[in-house]
């Protein structure tokens, strides 16, 4: 698929990933407040680590008013497995206090308001908007940064610039889903050190792919097939090995 523009690659990637991954966050939450706190805790750790501590945390501090008045030492002890627990405890308590003081304890559904909260940048704000409120947002984390660069959608490393470039390539209703699916694909297939290109459904047009299927081209729309991917999220077409010369 030589000659594809970056915009074409973005749209094709969105099509191909849609049947494979749900457009959901793996952070367990019940409402916007829990999603906000869980996303802050997810920095520099895994969603699994966060999900292991948040049930007890939210049982004791179910809303912003409760967490705003929490004992920092108790919060630190509860979130310790997520790492950087001193800073994270201070941040989620301060964030909760700001919600109480300025937004009546409710998470505001506007990025302009969210980014004024302690510990909340555009990435966290976009996650909360997209997942908790269904408002289009393109969250750029390390996985999204890596995949958008590998796919040739951007040359930037600045998350704000990546967000601006990619969101110009897709309609707003696809921003949240594409970001969430890139994250999942980055965790399972397009990993940082050794990307599993032979298993990737994007390998026939990804500029960074280490393999090429010259004998057969995929259709421009994603179609299900019977080969189960190792991550268990869907299926991908099996292509014959490249001929040896």
DSSP state of 158: -
Q: How confident is the model at residue 186 (pLDDT cuts 50, 70, 90)?
A: very high
- Average pLDDT over the chain, rounded to an integer: 88
For the residues 6-35, what does the mean pLDDT come to?
Answer: 96
Domains 6-24+137-188 and 32-133 share a fold: no
Cβ atoms of 153 and 124 within 8 Å: the answer is: no
Q: What is the pLDDT of residues 45-91, one digit of tens each?
A: 999 999 999 999 999 999 999 999 999 999 999 999 999 999 999 99
Q: Model pTM?
A: 0.81
Q: Phi then psi for 54, rounded to 5 degrees? A: -70, -30
pLDDT confidence tier of residue 213, bands split at 50, 70 and 90: low
Domain ranges of the chain: 6-24+137-188, 32-133
Q: Is 48 exposed, middle or buried (0-12, 13-18, 19+ CB in 10 A)?
A: exposed
pLDDT at residue 243, rounded to an integer:
45
Where residue 38 falls among pLDDT bands split at 50, 70, 90? very high
What percent of the chain is modeled with pLDDT above 90?
A: 84
Q: How far is CA 136 from CA 18, 67, 73, 218, in A?
A: 16, 28, 36, 29
Distance CA 46, CA 51 (A): 9
- CATH class for the domain made up of 32-133: mainly alpha
- Catalytic residue selected from 141, 161, 204, 214: 141
The CATH-assigned architecture of domain 6-24+137-188 is Orthogonal Bundle (1.10)
Lookup: tokens for 214: 């010259």
Say which residues have a Cβ less than 8 Å from residue 195's Cβ, sequence separation at least 6: 150, 189, 208, 210
Q: Within 13 Å of residue 130, how many CA atoms lie on the same side as its CB?
A: 25
Q: At what angle do helices 32-41 and 47-60 cross, to 10 degrees?
A: 130
pLDDT band for position 227 (cuts 50, 70, 90): very low
Residue 244 has pLDDT above 80, yes or no: no
pLDDT for res 82: 97
In the residue annotation, 123 being an active-site residue is answered as yes
Among 7, 113, 123, 214, the active-site one is 123
Catalytic residue flag (residue 8) = no
């Amino acid at each position: 698929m030589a000659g594809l523009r970056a915009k074409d690659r973005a749209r094709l990637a969105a099509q191909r990933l849609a049947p494979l991954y749900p457009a959901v966050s793996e952070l367990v939450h019940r409402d916007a407040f829990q999603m906000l706190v869980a996303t802050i805790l997810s920095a520099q750790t895994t969603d699994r680590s966060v999900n292991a501590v948040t049930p007890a945390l939210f049982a004791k501090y179910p809303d912003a008013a409760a967490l705003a008045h929490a004992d920092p030492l108790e919060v630190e002890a509860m979130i310790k497995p997520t790492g950087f627990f001193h800073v994270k405890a201070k941040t989620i308590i301060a964030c909760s206090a700001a919600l109480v003081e300025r937004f009546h304890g409710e998470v505001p559904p506007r990025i302009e308001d969210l980014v004024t909260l302690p510990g909340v940048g555009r990435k966290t704000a976009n996650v909360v908007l997209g997942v908790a409120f269904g408002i289009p947002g393109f969250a750029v984390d390390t996985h999204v940064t890596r995949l958008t660069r590998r796919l040739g959608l951007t040359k930037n490393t600045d998350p704000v610039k990546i967000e601006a470039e990619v969101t110009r390539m897709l309609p707003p209703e696809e921003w949240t889903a594409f970001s969430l699916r890139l994250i999942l694909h980055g965790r399972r297939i397009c990993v940082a050190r050794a990307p599993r290109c032979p298993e990737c459904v994007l390998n026939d047009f990804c500029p960074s792919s280490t393999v090429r299927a010259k004998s057969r081209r995929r259709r421009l729309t994603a179609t299900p097939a019977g080969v189960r991917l190792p991550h268990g999220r869907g299926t991908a077409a099996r292509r014959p090995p490249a001929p040896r010369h």
